[in-house]
Amino acid sequence: MLLFVATANPGKLREYAALFEGSPFDLVGARELDITLDVSETDDSYRANARAKALAGREASGLLTVADDSGIEVDALAGTPGPRSARFAGPGARDADNLRRLLTELEGIPPERRAARFRCLLVAALPDGREAWAEGVWEGRIAERPAGDDGFGYDPVFIDPELGLTAAQMPAEEKNRRSHRARAARALLPRLLALLARSPGFR
């Protein structure tokens, strides 16, 4: 069964393909379907932003669609940037711009006060109008400088306290076991399968 992941980010699509491995779904992204999604993620709610993308993706593709809104929350910055993580350095900001601003905001803050978490809200929109959602949280802290060549977004500065590595230093398998997206996907999958089991013709 085709599952449309409402993203044009190849890194995010790869992560979800790994997370849903073994499920009855074949994942496709916006690039594979030649779909352009123009959804304003301006709400201060992760769930509202994710739902807007999921509904837009379902409308554009006609497929079962999942979309997420994710962000990083830094305690020393009163939980910001949160849902505005992708635009922390301003409209059109690149990952490097957002990282630079985050580290600048945290200059002089010692390691013990750099607690942070990644949060992911994942919404599934079924073709028949039903919806399901789940949340995942990954606790850690912000490094003083980027490290690692893998991952994307804030991965190079997010340290997992158990491993002492940034998300960008971890093997993909390890990141996909620990990450906020992994936790959200693991929570969503049984809910989604339960809904689909009640759909005629689902295998």
Check if 95 is active-site: no
Instruction: For the sheet with 26-29, list strands across it.
Output: 26-29, 2-5, 64-74, 115-125, 131-142, 158-160, 165-166
Pairing of strands 131-142, 158-160: antiparallel
Please identify which of the residues 43, 44, 69, 128 carries the catalytic annotation: 69
- Omega before 127 cis (within 30°)? no
C-alpha–C-alpha distance, residues 174 and 169, integer Å: 10
Do 193 and 31 touch, CB atoms closer than 8 A? Answer: no
Expressed in percent and rounded to 5, the helix, strand and coil fractions of the chain are 40, 25, 40
Encoded tokens for 115: 């607690």
How buried is residue 121: exposed, middle or buried, by Cβ count under 10 Å (0-12/13-18/19+)?
buried
How buried is residue 143: exposed, middle or buried, by Cβ count under 10 Å (0-12/13-18/19+)?
buried
> Which residues are designated catalytic?
69
